Amino acid sequence: MAAIRSLIALLIIPFLFSSPVSSKPWVDDVKQWCSQTPYPQPCEYFLSHKPASKITCKADFLKLSLELALERALNGQQNTRSLGPKCRNTREKAAWEDCLELYENTINKLNKTVEPKCSQTDAQTWLSTALTNLVTCVVGFYELGVPDYLVPLLSNNVTMLLSNTLSLNNGPATPPSSKDGFPTWVKPGDRKLLQTASPAAQANVVVAKDGSGKYATVSAAVNAAPKSGGRYVIYVKAGVYNENVQIKGSNIMLVGDGIGRTIITGSRSVGGGSTTFNSATVAATGDGFIARDITIRNTAGPTNHQAVALRSGSDLSVFYRCSFEGYQDTLYVYSNRQFYRECDIYGTVDFVFGNAAAVLQNCNLYARNPPQRTITYTAQGRTDPNQNTGIVIHNSRITGASDFKSSGVKVYLGRPWQKYSRTVIMKTSIDGFLNPAGWMEWSGTFALDTLFYAEYLNTGPGSSTANRVNWKGYHVITSASEASGFTVGSFIAGNSWIPATGVPFTAGL
């Protein structure tokens, strides 16, 4: 995996820029402001070539930096489109198609970020997502063995400019208001929907294998959903639906008949020629997605490498009483803000991973029998210290599946996929088969000083921190006030958007 980090480094190591020779006040002004960013060279170069605009305060500079990042992202999207004819086989095309989708999503997020009504919290979330998208583009090229000469064409300095804007926007945050981050699609009846005994009673459409619904496949119902409007509820009757589902529309909700009864299953994998990103059985990118009482599986098996059951890049998404079943990379908490309640997650390697701001509460994480004899529950992927992302596991259970045999297996809570990996486990029951060190290196000393791994008041035979790793980035939290920063109420501002969904949650510790 060292090679993948070297490719990602191409995105964040500054290229050589020709410094402007002019000594005009505008250029001097730009240099002064750009010196405050992580990557001053591209900042100076590109801003100095823009029409002069007075920078009187940090807000002016942030606005210009956001506009510049958007401008370069549009240029990067154009460059990416031009690579299409160069794709020589299906693997290259698969990675290229991912990048097209990822650039489109990046531009969508940046357009929302430059709007005057965008809050600081939203901006940090969407900028974090934009940066994650471009790193994911590169990862896909690596996974499928695409020549790395294509990668610099895709970077286009956007990643450095995004890191600059993340740094500039990461000032003292204003406390979330009652409307900050609140999903505008929620209607008063939505809460009653989740509490009703019969999901079919208030569903917009029904999916059924036996022909008793309007649609026979989940994809058909999702693709027919309105492009805009209020919550659109799709009731999926009990049955096994063998399909890969992409949920791009906003405000869509899938309701099943329960874990193990309504099952969506697929088998894409990196071993089978997909990228990790595109291997998901269900991929949700439209904002405000909700799933309840459904099992989502990837049956590629333990030897086909990365094979995702669910990938969520849906902002303000909620998963309630769902099961996610796979082996390596089962649950891809890809980006944006996500909440999981009373869910089951099964896997072997890095089976909760990604770079969202995600909280898993009252969930069960089940280890399965791994062919490689090592279990890693998490692999969080923060690449920039200013991204407001991380995986939080709260009031949950870290244990083994019913047939798990722990003898001879090394079991760890997680390992640092990226340099600023952040994972916090709080008030969670940890089984006794956990390796006393608790956490595993990714490769040598990589990220051990820059990650943030923490534990707080966990219980169970594996919860003792007496023999945990002594990395600089590992912490045993003893203060309730510090731990509170990773609660639903603080970390994902859940009080402002989860109540309207009707899903139960604990806002604090």
User: Would you name the residues annotated as active-site residues?
Assistant: 329, 350
Residue 130 makes CB contacts below 8 A (sequence gap 6+) with 69, 73, 106, 109, 110, 113, 162
Of the candidates 176, 282, 268, the residue with the CA atom closest to the CA atom of residue 507? 176
Residue 265: CB atoms within 10 Å: 18
Are the beta carbons of 476 and 468 closer than 8 angstroms? yes
User: Rounded to an integer, what is the distance from CA 84 to the centroid of its chain?
Assistant: 27
435: left (phi > 0), else alpha (psi -120 to 50), else beta?
A: beta
What order do you get walking across the sheet with 474-476 strand by strand?
205-207, 232-236, 252-255, 290-292, 317-320, 337-341, 357-361, 390-394, 422-426, 452-456, 474-476
Helix (H/G/I), strand (E/B), else coil: 97? helix
State the Cα–Cα distance between residues 485 and 66, nearest whole angstrom. 27
Are the beta carbons of 384 and 166 closer than 8 angstroms? yes
Helix (H/G/I), strand (E/B), else coil: 480? helix
What order do you get walking across the sheet with 397-400 strand by strand?
239-242, 262-266, 295-298, 323-325, 344-347, 364-367, 397-400, 429-430
